[in-house]
């Protein structure tokens, strides 16, 4: 006699057979959060008597269904506890055929974002951030890991900070992260830490920020500030790592240092009466001593002629009418704090415009087409023109020096679609450099 560890047959709805041609509906219901089959989920064909429940491996079968088009949905107590619905799935039943369905719960990120973005009381000018925290070696989600989101807050020397702890599923969420502000993400768990990085979330938007934890060691960072023209040391400059409490003042040799800096990518900020506010990216390694030199310039930079590879002819003059004009005076207010053209646009906080870093290090600039579209599809990049010529490499255009930018014009998708055709359906950003 051979023992069999076979799965039980799927539960089947018992309904009197109808008249006319019939088919059947079968499939699986999956718990996207737990990563397992959903047992005892109730599966329905909406507004009919056809229903069943899933078996021990999440399977279901509904037989004897009249030919036609239906909307399938399911319910489980796990969804009820969170007050969300996975929505309906269309299914067509054909005579003598089996229609196969794959149903599943929303992912944890989707559910957390939904809870944040539909909360009855939410502060203005905030977005939502959520993510899973896991051990990089074992790939296991960590319960009770400490997560910190921090950012520079006005002229305060103390950064703004939000703390969160991961749930039993290894997830964290914050519904009140400042919008359009660089936010530093970090986490720790019993000696393990995260490689820090910055994110930005649009107002009423959502960013998923997963965090992997490693055995990491901090590093020592030494910086020297030097006048780009004379080579002299710059004394008395205030310096800090954005979003942290690492702060120092350069000495007579133009140097300062930060001890015990966790590895990651930071924005090194400096402020000096003669040089203004400057910034540069600083990548801190694991368990090392990093020595860098930062060049400062207190004079207007002469901008070399900009070469743009044309992907289209220059636009006609009448296309420049309308749009949101950003003047030189507006740009001058944020020029010294910006590394490139994308930073200028981000710093201006233009309503409805999103400037979002991508995972590959590039930047996406687009209009937010309402909360739902932004949440489901992310950043929809707009077309970019430099001096009326469409940029063949948008990323190169985004990296234009802030000192080169004279003015800008933004066209919303509807307006841009009418002026530029189908290619402008996500909006258009016109950049004009000095002398144009």
For residue 313, what pLDDT is reported?
45
Distance of CA 100 to the CA centre of its chain: 34
**C-alpha to C-alpha distance for 380 and 374, rounded to whole angstroms:** 8
Average pLDDT, the chain: 82
Maximum average pLDDT range among 323-327, 374-378, 393-397: 323-327
Q: In this predicted model, what pLDDT tens digit does every residue of 211-257 receive, in sequence order?
A: 999 999 999 999 999 998 899 999 999 999 999 999 999 999 999 99
Output helix, strand, coil percentages for the chain, rounded to the nearest 5.
15, 40, 45
Q: Which of the 8 DSSP states describes residue 185?
A: E
Burial class from Cβ neighbours inside 10 Å (0-12, 13-18, 19+) for residue 405 reads buried
Report yes or no: 411 and 428 within 8 Å, Cβ to Cβ.
Answer: yes
Q: How many residues does the chain have?
A: 436
Structure tokens at 236: 């008395």
Q: In this predicted model, what pLDDT tens digit does every residue of 293-349 receive, in sequence order?
A: 998 887 544 444 444 443 444 444 344 456 888 999 889 888 877 888 888 888 887
Band of pLDDT at residue 416, cut at 50, 70 and 90? confident
Residue 174: is its pLDDT beyond 80? yes
Structure tokens at 87: 């929505």
Q: How far is CA 149 from CA 30, 157, 168, 172, 304, in A?
A: 32, 16, 20, 11, 39
Structure tokens at 354: 């999103």
Domains and their CATH numbers in the chain: 11-104 (2.60.40.10), 108-214 (2.60.130.10), 219-296 (2.60.40.1120), 317-433 (2.170.130.10)
Q: Which residue has the tokens 């901008």?
A: 303
Q: What is the pTM of this model?
A: 0.58
State residue 366 phi and psi, 5-degree precision: -160, 170
Structure tokens at 371: 């909360």
Section 167-192 average pLDDT: 92
Band of pLDDT at residue 434, cut at 50, 70 and 90? confident
- Those residues whose C-beta lies under 8 Å from the C-beta of residue 86, and which sit 6 or more positions away, are 73, 74, 79, 103, 104, 105, 106
């Amino acid at each position: 006699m051979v023992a069999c560890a076979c799965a039980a047959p799927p539960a089947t709805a018992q309904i009197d057979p109808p008249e006319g041609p019939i088919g059947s509906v079968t499939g699986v219901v999956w718990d996207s959060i737990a990563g397992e089959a959903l047992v005892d989920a109730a599966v329905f064909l909406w507004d009919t008597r056809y229903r069943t429940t899933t078996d021990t491996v999440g399977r279901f079968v509904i037989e004897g269904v009249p030919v036609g088009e239906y909307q399938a949905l399911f319910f489980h107590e796990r969804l009820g506890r969170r007050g969300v619905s996975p929505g309906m799935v269309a299914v067509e039943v054909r005579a003598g055929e089996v229609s196969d369905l794959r149903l599943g719960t929303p992912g944890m990120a989707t559910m957390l974002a939904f809870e944040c973005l539909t909360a009855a009381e939410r502060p203005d000018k905030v977005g939502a951030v959520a993510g899973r925290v896991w051990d990089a070696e074992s790939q296991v989600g960590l319960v009770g890991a400490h997560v910190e989101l921090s950012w520079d807050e006005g002229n305060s020397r103390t950064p703004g900070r939000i703390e969160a702890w991961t749930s039993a599923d290894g997830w964290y969420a914050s519904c009140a992260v400042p919008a359009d502000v660089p936010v530093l993400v970090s986490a720790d768990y019993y000696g393990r830490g995260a490689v820090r990085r910055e994110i930005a979330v649009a107002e009423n938007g959502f960013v998923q920020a997963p965090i992997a934890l490693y055995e990491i060691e901090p590093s020592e960072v030494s910086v020297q500030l030097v006048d780009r023209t004379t080579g002299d040391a710059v004394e008395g400059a205030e310096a800090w790592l954005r979003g942290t409490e690492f702060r120092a003042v350069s000495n007579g040799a133009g140097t300062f240092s930060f001890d015990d800096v966790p590895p990651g990518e930071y924005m090194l900020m400096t402020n000096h009466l003669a040089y203004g506010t400057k910034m540069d990216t600083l990548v801190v390694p694991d368990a090392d001593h990093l020595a860098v030199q930062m060049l400062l310039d207190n004079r207007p930079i002469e901008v070399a002629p900009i070469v743009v590879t044309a992907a289209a002819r220059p636009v006609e003059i009448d296309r420049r009418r309308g749009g949101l004009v950003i003047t030189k005076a507006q740009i001058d207010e944020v020029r010294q704090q910006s590394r490139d053209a994308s930073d200028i646009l981000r710093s201006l906080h233009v309503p409805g415009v999103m400037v979002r870093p991508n995972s590959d290090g590039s930047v996406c600039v687009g209009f937010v087409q309402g909360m739902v579209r932004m949440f489901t599809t992310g950043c929809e990049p707009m077309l970019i023109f430099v001096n009326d010529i469409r940029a063949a490499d948008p990323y190169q255009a985004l990296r234009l020096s802030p000192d080169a930018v004279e003015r800008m014009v933004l066209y919303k998708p509807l307006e841009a679609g009418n002026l530029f055709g189908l290619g402008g359906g996500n909006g258009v950003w016109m950049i004009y450099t000095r002398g144009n």
